Structure 1
Amino acid sequence: MLNDLTFYTHILSIVGDIIKVRAKQAGLGDLAVVENWDGERSLAQVIAIHRDEVSLQVFTGGKGLSTEARIQFLGHPSQVTFSENILGRVFNGAGEPTDGGPSLQGDPRVEIGGPSVNPVMRIVPKRMIETKVPMIDVFNSLVESQKIPIFSVAGEPYNQLLARIGIQADAEIIVFGGMGLVFDDYHFFRTTFEEEGVFPRTVMFVNQASDPIVERMLVPDMALKVAERFAVEQKKRVLVLLTDMTAYADALKEIGVSMERVPATRGYMGDLYSQLALRYERACDYRGAGSVTILTVTTMPGDDVTHPVPDNTGYITEGQFYLHDGMIDPFGSLSRLKQQVVGKTTRDDHGQLMNTMIRLYSGAREAEKKQAMAFDLSPFDHKLLTYGKIFRQRFMEIDVSLPLVDALDLGWQTLAECFQPEELLMKQELIDKYYPANVGDSKT
């Protein structure tokens, strides 16, 4: 039975998963319990209020609901358990454990959502998160407190890349949020974290494709609230992994359509930018505490970067990693915060080596076009072709794993195998210091 005598039965309509009821003392985002005529109960969330008309999204759907159902408002928004005991646990989009582990009934709970961080608590990011992925560490460094997506398309190994970064990144806590995942993807992430030994310091919030769509909207808020608490209260360096933000945006669109809201571009609601920004802006390096770094997957329908989800995301985030053909594209990728760490907290040759390698790889791409069109190639063009092939194998394949220092050394080795020192157009002091002396005349 409901533990409070205040309940409402004046249901106005049931459209899909949305029910409307006349009620007072309801707040936007508050939870409610919907009890059907047969005693079956479900959680619902207030998603709109117009005077005394309240719209609720029912977690388990509106199928089978009667207009005789009664509703009790709980007086608070969704909450998530936060304590040391949530590490190594898996939760669904409603914040309930799904791994069969011990009950967390007595552990403290915190409300999700709320405003982002007070700007005076933010400090300028200055520490790099090493991922051991050369195309990130060397060419587009991930910086603590950065918010950055992986732009990709269906069929690309973006989840494999996200999992690799999770197990290799030098973060203290990993918070994973999955939205609309098929079971195989969920199982992949969980087994990967377990087998690689990072699961004891990982928290997972997973909404599977078969789960209620409203829970899909709650996953990012739960993951980010837990990350904030670890960063602020325990001074941890937290990395948040979210996949897929396009599924999150699609959930917003579906609920907006159910509420008969007027859509904007391609059916998405006009507040898509605000909804995405509210989540991404929780990335922060806290003064006197830890940090929250956000790395997400954003799939682009039709590989269209002008699609509303990647388009709005690009205005909010600080760059992107562009994944296609199973590789991170050095030209489509960008980290706008890398200048905060390259050559400052990393080795002194990092900036020059990064720029030189990309410049020469660009030349290799041009040489490949000349070769395809049967133009005459110069001896230097042949060197560029060899370099381009080696560069892709050693750096662009996403299964390559190297610490940053080793990746920088391999960069010099690769340059030395293909080019003479004077062909690099680099500072002589760096060539004298880092150009390998043992390559000799073995250059291609």
Structure 2
Amino acid sequence: MTAERVPDPGVAPGAVDLGAEIAFSDVRELRGPLLVVGDVTGVGWDEFATVDVDGGVSRHGLVLEVDDDLAVLQVLEGTAGLVPGGVWVRFAGRPLQVRVSTDWYGRVCNGRGEPLDGGPPVGGSPRPVAGWPLNPTRREPPREAVLTGVSVLDTLTTLVRGQKLPIFSVPGLPHLTLATQIAARATTAGEGFRVVFAGMGLTHADIAYVRDRLEERSAAGELVLLLNAADDPVIERVLTPRIALTVAEHLAFEHGDDVLVVMSDMTSYAEAVREVAAARREIPARRGYPGYLYSDLASLYERCGRVRGRPGSVTVVPVLTMPSGDITHPVPDLTGYITEGQIVLSPEVDARGVYPPVDVLSSLSRLMRSGAGPGRTREDHLPVAAQVLAALARARQAAELGELVGVAALSQTDRAYLTFRETVERDLFAQGGDEGRPMGDSLDRAWRALDVLPRRELTMLPAAMVAEHLGGVS
């Protein structure tokens, strides 16, 4: 809880009473992004503060820890250039807030929400960036598909409105291209669909790429861009996804829009959390990350969903890179515990020239059945998806056997499965980075790929459905 500000004639030494705020000047230590101030009273955890500098521009901070009369702040702009004797810290008596309104649509801002597009600061009512707790009994189960326009995702790992579905990638793969493609092409049934894109730790070349790729949707007033550069203060990276989700919650639950939040790269976020924890001299856990990384990630991912009695929704697609392709690394490992499936990008698929290089047999959307099928996408969607996945699993076995005995020694059926894999990757999975496909087109492509297989192998499809889409027996 944040302490109330009660004007007190007996202000502590080193403090100046400013009515609603109290300024303290006893700066004990400056360490990386952290500032330690002493002789403080009435200061609470997560409180917002302003750091006034003699002859310089004021900076901003958040209280990380309070111990007796000491308060530890993380300074958003960093502590470089600060001198203990020339610093005053003013505590606001409230957590960090961001102003929210529909004025966010079409805006491009940095990771702290400050405009990069030359426009005025975004106005509106203030909201804490940590968000408001959501009563679990008021949650509605996710349902209805969010169509990304990417065939392999829409067909086999359908994203559902209100779901959290991460993308696991490896450095060097086109995960940023896929993230921006989803942000540019995603839609839902009906109107009022919007996108919030939060980029973290991006190079300036990546920022230019993202702005260029999403310019059309931004100009249409359907997009909010928050872009944190790799050379921006590390603390800003910790705030970027929280500001993005705060904006999304307002637009969804108070304005009634369906909002997709794409966050890339969550590994950069986790490394920022680790850097701050190291500066605080916390005892590290797995691979140097703090022990609370799980709850920290959950505090972000769990802000998605639908609320009973309100039309809007928040759907979250976090994108993260797995160092050395290690899916047991703490960031993907903990993310997998919290989220409802995963989309895995594969270097092997990428080497075959397929974009997006999705390893469909390692990917899963646990809520797909809530958003796909009759009345939602198409009646044949779920059976077709099941048959394609089963055929790809058999094709993988045939390929492994072919490496041992040679493709010529395989049975005719096994060779048909290898042909199926080539066909489905070429005609269904592979598509242009700027291309958006309707769901009907994607399913029709899946049927054409299945036509390569003998009819007796299509065991997961009803005979009437096979006859309708593929004709007679072959």
The interval holding the TM-score normalised by the smaller chain is over 0.9
CA gap of 1:242–1:404, structure 2 versus 1, over 3 A, is same
CA contact (8 A) 1:146 1:284 kept: yes
Aligned to 2:365: 335
Aligned to 2:316: 294
Deviations 1:103-157 (A, max 9, x none): 44x5332221144321122112221111121211111110011011100111110
CA contact (8 A) 2:131 2:246 kept: no
CA gap of 1:401–1:89, structure 2 versus 1, over 3 A, is closer
Identity of aligned residues (%): 36
- Asked whether 1:56 is paired with 2:73, we answer yes
- Asked whether 1:382 is paired with 2:415, we answer yes
Aligned to 1:403: 438
Aligned to 2:457: 423
Letter in 1 for 2:106: G
Alpha-carbon shift at residue 371 of structure 1 (Å): 2.2
Number of residue pairs matched by the alignment? 436
Instruction: Specify every segment of 5 or more residues in structure 1 that has no aligned partner in the other structure, as ranges.
Output: none
CA contact (8 A) 2:114 2:121 kept: no
Letter in 1 for 2:323: P
Aligned to 1:305: 327
Alpha-carbon shift at residue 423 of structure 1 (Å): 3.0
Q: Hey, what's the Cα distance between the residues in 1 that align with 2:227 and 2:379? A: 42
CA gap of 1:404–1:198, structure 2 versus 1, over 3 A, is farther
Instruction: Specify every segment of 5 or more residues in structure 2 that has no aligned partner in the other structure, as ranges.
Output: 1-15, 351-356
Alpha-carbon shift at residue 341 of structure 1 (Å): 2.5
Aligned to 2:209: 188
Q: Hey, what's the Cα distance between the residues in 2 that align with 1:323 and 1:365? A: 17
Alpha-carbon shift at residue 197 of structure 1 (Å): 6.1
Letter in 2 for 1:298: L
Aligned to 2:11: none
Aligned residues: CA RMSD: 1.9
Aligned to 2:344: 322
CA gap of 1:49–1:207, structure 2 versus 1, over 3 A, is same
Deviations 1:62-98 (A, max 9, x none): 2221111111112222222211221111122222212
Q: Hey, what's the Cα distance between the residues in 2 that align with 1:16 and 1:377? A: 62
Greater Cα shift, 318-327 or 391-400:
391-400
Query: What SS is found at the alignment partner of 2:157?
Result: coil
Alpha-carbon shift at residue 316 of structure 1 (Å): 0.2
Alpha-carbon shift at residue 274 of structure 1 (Å): 0.3
- Asked whether 1:432 is paired with 2:435, we answer no
- Asked whether 1:270 is paired with 2:291, we answer yes
Greater Cα shift, 157-166 or 44-53:
44-53
Aligned to 1:79: 97
- Normalized against structure 1, the TM-score is what? 0.93
Greater Cα shift, 3-12 or 61-70:
3-12
- Asked whether 1:168 is paired with 2:185, we answer yes
Aligned to 1:14: 30
CA contact (8 A) 1:328 1:398 kept: no
Q: Hey, what's the Cα distance between the residues in 2 that align with 1:394 and 1:41? A: 57
Q: Hey, what's the Cα distance between the residues in 1 that align with 2:471 and 2:149? A: 22
Give matches, 1:158-307, under 5 Å.
Answer: 158-171=175-188, 172-195=193-216, 200-289=221-310, 290-307=312-329
- Normalized against structure 2, the TM-score is what? 0.88
Letter in 1 for 2:166: P
Q: Hey, what's the Cα distance between the residues in 1 that align with 2:110 and 2:17? A: 25
Greater Cα shift, 421-430 or 82-91:
421-430
Q: Hey, what's the Cα distance between the residues in 1 that align with 2:319 and 2:212? A: 19
Greater Cα shift, 192-201 or 283-292:
192-201
